Structure 1
């Protein structure tokens, strides 16, 4: 089934293309076409056709291992870093997490922190292996776990939530909370007030 461009950012040819690009550019690993199709909940045939287009454009590269075709983002392409940056901003973890966390009641504020937020805010360093998620409020732990696990699968990297009650966050007396407040954070669910 052909889908139109994603409503969030219609630069991409289709929603399928956007999901594939987010997975391969932000996940950083190599996957078979079948694994990728399963991860983004898409038909393998449609996924393979879109990957062929992306490979012709030099955005992804592939190799054969037995009967499997393994694909990964083409990090040698001259446009790799700007494209990765664009995908990170438009389709990255903050957007994906916001989508999944919207179903969780009891969240007052949610921000990405740690190395991913630092890279996003321009601090140099190694590519982050996981995503640290600050959740302020009192969400149902099972709902939060389910949401972050789904986001982890879609992003192809672990999401590690840290839950802090609203009163602890507002008091800001603990060293860990003061450190969180002073370091880069990327909003996922902005607070109804300042939130910093």
Structure 2
């Protein structure tokens, strides 16, 4: 499945390529298998295989064989690695940074990014986002949520605006903010949406 150049930063060949690079450059010392990346990104292995091949040819990532798998990682020694990592952080980084930080908050069930960043990520044209709006669904300690938001803010150098709702508010559909989020593009950074039942 081919994806088009992402409006968030259309210098990348596809959103899949940008997402792949973001995960690898956000975790520069970590190895990933193609299967790991496929699960994490929600993209087929065949789609990722082509992107990985191009990135290996450009030497932006490295691979080392382990058994029948290849372990992939960012090539931090590449001439453009620092600049690329900074571009990825500013554009595609919010999803990875939010997932990494908010997953550590006890009681979190789902974390969504909404607002201008989500609209750009999902393909809506417009100016670059200047903040990241986050909806946390769960029974959480708000102080932990704000600590996670601060960690993301420090990593991205962008304001992060978290709001907390219990999961049943997502299902009840009576909360004005939840209605607004559901009516607009949003990105699931962590967890799954609450389901009836």
The interval holding the TM-score normalised by the smaller chain is 0.5 to 0.7
Q: Structure 2: how far apart are the matches of 1:108 and 1:4?
A: 27
The question of whether the paired residues in 2 share the 8 Å contact of 1:6 and 1:15 is answered with no
Alignment of 1:38-77 (within 5 A): none
How far off is 1:146 after superposition?
1.0
Partner of 1:14: 76
Q: Structure 2: how far apart are the matches of 1:20 and 1:121?
A: 24
Partner of 1:99: 100
Partner of 2:109: 108
Change in CA separation of 1:144 and 1:124 when aligned onto 2, cut-off 3 Å: same
The question of whether the paired residues in 1 share the 8 Å contact of 2:170 and 2:194 is answered with no
Q: Structure 2: how far apart are the matches of 1:4 and 1:158?
A: 24
The question of whether the paired residues in 2 share the 8 Å contact of 1:5 and 1:13 is answered with no
The question of whether the paired residues in 1 share the 8 Å contact of 2:142 and 2:164 is answered with no
Partner of 2:153: 152
Change in CA separation of 1:25 and 1:192 when aligned onto 2, cut-off 3 Å: closer
For residues 120-177 of structure 1, give each alpha carbon's deviation from its aligned partner in whole angstroms, at most 9, with x where no partner exists: 0000111110000011112111111111101111111011001111122220123321
Change in CA separation of 1:14 and 1:194 when aligned onto 2, cut-off 3 Å: farther
Out of 140-149 and 174-183, give the one that drifted further. 174-183
Partner of 2:130: 129
Change in CA separation of 1:20 and 1:151 when aligned onto 2, cut-off 3 Å: farther
Partner of 1:23: 86
How many residues align? The count is: 131
Work out which of the two has the higher radius of gyration on C-alpha atoms and give 1 or 2. Answer: 1
Out of 4-13 and 138-147, give the one that drifted further. 4-13
**For structure 1, which runs of at least 5 residues remain unmatched after alignment?**
28-83
The question of whether the paired residues in 1 share the 8 Å contact of 2:131 and 2:158 is answered with yes
Alpha carbon RMSD of aligned pairs, Å? 2.9
